[in-house]
A and B are shown apart, each in its own frame.
Chain A
């Protein structure tokens, strides 16, 4: 356990696994805050204004925690992965710097937005302040995703005597992995944001709250959930096509697809016998992998046996891939059922069973984000930069990383306990009904 490579990976896993929750919510929430305020002003409905104000307060706390974990990641990149930064730092310093700039842009306008409610004669002027927050948070996701995309399909530099030369930062940023990864990151963040807001409203409705505030909040968030769930399904298909062309070993490992063949089948679940390369108890869908990869049932999909075994990603990513897809499908189904129940008059969209599923949607969305992230990061193994630098060559050789792992794990556990407590206390101390009454709304 004292192997610096293993411990460095563990520490990075713990840090990013915690940070990704804050980052996803931080990217996902601003569009709902902005649109709630806009609708509130346009329809002269204080419910939406209170919604935007309360969501902003929760969002600000999550951003504050995200700053802590984001800063830690910045340090860990240099301290735990010095060779990675030494080699790739020349190439990807632009998006890393721009990510920080985008974050500051978002944070500055968030501060102004937070403290200028009711300070403008024209309320649309205050709403305009939410636009830089939306742009800043999504731009932040864009820049950091280009760095991750670069690690999967590196380009924009030459190798001369083992050193990186002729760097073209924009070519490195706009590599083949960028569009599909960015699109997937953004739409899943918007989907997760929607489901968290919907789950909070559904929880209050389940507990017998009757204010129309919760119903409107739920409805607004479920619209986002349905639109971005469909977008995520489309993006998932695009990601499959990207992998088939640019990272066939990752797709093959995720699908336990060993032999290159036409009319390849998609595998769900199962137990693998790695020696015999046989799967038991799995569900096979004929032609589906060929369609996922190339849109044609007869298309040839490259199998793992085309690659040296030492370059295979760990095969357990199959389960994370399955989990991500299943949860994504479940979330799309829940939002679809909600609108069927809403538009078909005889059905009840606020029935307890559907509300329970909406509440379950929030933690499941986060679980899906974590699964997708594990699948894509572990699926790149053994490389940290595909085809250029392995994880084992990039890690620090320093001792005492183990103690750092304990220290930071303790910090994240403390944050994981404190953060929900602070949010619950903040919102229960001043509930929505009290705020609506303060604003002159008769309940």
Chain B
């Protein structure tokens, strides 16, 4: 039963969850290397 769930359902979740986590992490986190973070910003 656990194996059926892991084989048939869980893999699909892994893809969507990892994509979601990556997207949110990039969008929500503070800009890296703040020392020169202003460089490149549009005025």
Binding site for B on A (CB under 8 A): 31, 35, 38-39, 42-47, 176, 179-180, 182-184, 186-187, 190, 211-213, 215-216, 219-220, 223-224, 227-228, 230-231, 234-235, 238, 241-242, 244-246, 294-295, 342, 436, 441-443
**The residue from B18, B31, B36, B40 contacting A230, defined by CB atoms under 8 A apart:** B18
Chain A to chain B contacts (Cβ below 8 Å), 19 pairs: A31-B22, A38-B27, A42-B27, A47-B39, A47-B40, A176-B7, A179-B9, A180-B11, A187-B18, A212-B33, A212-B39, A212-B40, A220-B26, A223-B29, A227-B25, A228-B22, A242-B7, A245-B3, A441-B40
Which B positions have Cβ atoms within 8 angstroms of A?
2-3, 6-12, 14-15, 17-19, 21-23, 25-27, 29, 31-33, 36-37, 39-42
Q: Are A294 and B18 in contact (CB under 8 A)?
A: no
A42-B27, A44-B42, A187-B18 are contacts. A212–B11 as well, Cβ < 8 Å?
A: no
Q: Which of B15, B23, B32, B42 contacts A46 (CB 8 A)?
A: B42
On whether the beta carbons of B39 and A235 are closer than 8 Å, the reply is no
Chain B residues contacting A216 (CB-CB under 8 Å) are 31-33
Whether the Cβ atoms of B32 and A219 lie closer than 8 Å is yes
Total residue contacts A-B, CB cutoff 8 A: 106
The A interface, classified by DSSP as helix, strand, loop or mixed, is: helix
Contact indicator B15/A187 (Cβ below 8 Å): yes
- Please report the C-alpha to C-alpha distance between residue A175 and residue B3 in the assembled complex, in whole angstroms: 15
- Give, as a whole number of angstroms, the nearest-CB distance from A267 to chain B: 22
Contact of A212 with B36 in the complex, beta carbons under 8 Å: yes
Provide the residues of chain B in CB contact with A442, threshold 8 Å. Answer: 39
Extra contacts besides A42-B27, A45-B40, A212-B40 (18): CB < 8 Å: A38-B27, A45-B42, A46-B41, A180-B11, A182-B11, A183-B11, A212-B39, A215-B36, A219-B32, A224-B22, A227-B22, A228-B22, A231-B18, A238-B6, A238-B14, A241-B6, A246-B7, A295-B3
Q: What's the least CB distance linking B23 to chain A, in Å?
A: 7
Residues of A within 8 Å of B11, CB to CB, are 179-180, 182-184, 235, 238
**A39 nearest in chain B by CB position:** B26
Note all chain B residues with C-beta closer than 8 A to A213. Answer: 40
- CB-based contact A223/B3 at 8 Å: no
Q: Quick one: which of B32, B37, B42 contacts A342, CB cutoff 8 A?
A: B32
Closest A residue by C-beta to B3: A241
Give chain A nearest CB distance to B29 CB in angstroms.
Answer: 8
Contact partners of A211 in chain B: CB under 8 A: 39
**Other-chain contact of A441, B7, B22, B39 (Cβ < 8 Å):** B39
Q: Is the CB of B32 within 8 A of A35?
A: no
> Known: A216-B33, A245-B3. Is A183-B12 also a contact (CB below 8 A)?
yes
**Bound-state Cα–Cα, A306 to B40, Å:** 64
B40:A436 contact, CB within 8 angstroms: yes
Q: Which of A179, A182, A184, A342 contacts B7 (CB 8 A)?
A: A179
**CB-defined contacts of A223 to chain B, threshold 8 Å:** 22, 25-26, 29
Q: Which residues of B contact A38 (CB under 8 A)?
A: 27
**Knowing A44-B41, A47-B40, A436-B40 touch, does A245 contact B7 (C-beta < 8 A)?**
yes
Q: Across the interface, do A228 and B18 meet the contact criterion of CB distance under 8 Å?
A: yes
